[in-house]
Amino acid sequence: MIDARSHLWSADVLPELRLGLENLRAHKLRSLLTMLGMIFGVAAVVAMLSIGAGAQQEVMAFIEQLGVRNLIVEAREAADGQALQKVRKLSPGLTFSDLRVIQSNLDGISAATARKRFTPSKLMPKPFTSETPVVYGVSPAYKTIGNLAVASGRFFDDSETTAAAPVAVLGEAAAANLFGADDAVGRYVKVNDQWFRVIGVAGPQLTVQSDVAGIPAQDRNNIIYVPLFSSVFRLEDGQSAQKDEIDGIYLQMNQGSDIPGAAAMIRGILDRAHRSAGDFTIVSPAELLAEQRRTQRIFEMVMVAIASISLLVGGIGIMNIMLASVLERTREIGVRRAIGARQRDVVRQFLIETTIISLTGGVAGILLGVGLSQLIGVLAGWSTIVTTGSIVLAFGVSVAIGIVFGLYPAVRASRLDPVKALHYE
């Protein structure tokens, strides 16, 4: 059985493959122009999907870093002083009382911390860049909730938080911004009028360039972490009675907890306490992650549909050229039929030629698409990821379109009357 198939391949397919290559080489320019539609279509699919995959992966990695078991309450800043006064008539803003009420009414909380942040007006040592580190006042639970790894030194503990100890942990960028390549652990940082001893440096954190569902865009590596009840925050609070007592609440739920249900309960508690002032946002990374995955799938389908138009145009070009080729080679088809070629032999001959065009165009398109995605990544500074799925999809669609659009000319050629074909001029 295997020998029979091998004989069929060598006796029928190989000669037709060589004949197809010779016909394409005999019309190099026409063959190249026919392939261009497939090349640009495949390149468009690969490039678009790689750009989309890169952008989505960056956002999804950031959301995963936030923690799929976490819930984050962010204070919503008023647009201006008039809007702030209107909100303050209804709500005092986020407070420690809100955190305590949530903890007493919501089951399944494994870790929780409030957050207070501000940008210092004075900082020593002076930062090397114009980007001043932001100060975060948090409790030790933030290290677990925020998936914060400590690269050197340690994070402050509960006793230091209770005692408002003047200690600090620097983000990776903040350490480099203040101390350059020197070891920051054991050094001192002056925030406004308060000195802090650096006891640790955090590892790198993912950062996005735009707001994500209520979480403001910020360099998460350019942060100075200090105990929440540090004297620097008491001074800051004294400067502006209009500010929220705290501006963020981080909660980590137990494994298997109903995250959407917990988010709904927190929203209900805060709406009652804030009299529906709308001065907060609840961020659920688990729901964001699911939404981003749905968005990614929709984006990929839309991009494939748009890019497939180019492939469709390429397929029409193949059909057009192959129909012209049938007319040009009518006498050749008549000779082949006269010496014993069957209809399926003629069909196979033309399908082999269209398949060669599709395969060559698909490979060239993949190479062009990968090159375009890399070029866009370098010039625009975007993250691009060429996935195996995008290559397989683009290549498979291009070959399928080539075969489908080449089938009609092949069948039409096979149905030519041998006698008429021999007399065709």
Query: Six-digit token pair at 84?
Result: 């702030």
Domain boundaries, the chain: 10-62+291-422, 77-278
Contacts 24+ apart (CB under 8 A), 212-216: 212/59, 212/62, 212/63, 212/288, 213/281, 213/283, 213/288, 214/74, 214/76, 214/281, 214/282, 214/283, 215/66, 215/72, 215/74, 215/283, 216/74
Calculate the CA 393 to chain-centre distance.
19
> Rounded to whole angstroms, what are the CA distances from 183 to 155, 172, 174, 178?
16, 11, 12, 11
pLDDT for residue 142: 93
pLDDT for residue 199: 96
- Interaxial angle between packed helices 285-328 and 330-338, expressed in degrees from 0 to 180 and rounded to the nearest 10: 80
d(CA 97, CA 81): 24
d(CA 306, CA 303): 5
Q: Over the Cα atoms of the chain, what is R_g?
A: 33
d(CA 354, CA 259): 54
Query: Six-digit token pair at 86?
Result: 């209107």
CB atoms within 10 A of CB 103: 13
pLDDT for residue 226: 94
Q: Is the peptide bond before 227 cis (omega within 30 degrees of 0)?
A: no
pLDDT for residue 103: 93
Which residues share a beta bridge with 215? 212
Nearest Cα to Cα of residue 139 among 118, 156, 120, 119: 156
d(CA 420, CA 152): 87
pLDDT for residue 206: 72
> Rounded to whole angstroms, what are the CA distances from 91 to 53, 76, 86, 242?
42, 12, 9, 11
Q: Assign 195 to helix, strand or coil.
A: strand
pLDDT for residue 16: 67
pLDDT for residue 237: 46
- Mind listing the pLDDT tens digit of every residue in the chain (425 residues)? 445 555 444 456 676 677 667 777 777 777 787 788 788 878 888 887 887 777 777 666 666 667 778 888 988 877 777 877 888 888 888 899 999 999 999 999 999 999 998 888 889 999 888 888 999 999 999 999 988 889 999 999 999 988 888 999 999 999 999 999 899 999 999 998 889 999 999 998 876 555 555 566 677 889 999 998 776 665 554 445 556 788 899 999 998 888 889 999 999 999 999 988 888 888 887 777 777 677 777 777 777 677 667 677 777 777 877 777 777 777 777 777 777 777 777 777 778 878 888 888 888 888 998 888 888 878 877 778 887 877 887 788 778 887 888 787 777 777 777 666 565 55
> Rounded to whole angstroms, what are the CA distances from 86 to 80, 81, 280?
10, 9, 15
pLDDT for residue 236: 53
Nearest 10 degrees: Cα torsion 173, 174, 177, 179: -110
pLDDT for residue 166: 92
pTM of the model: 0.65
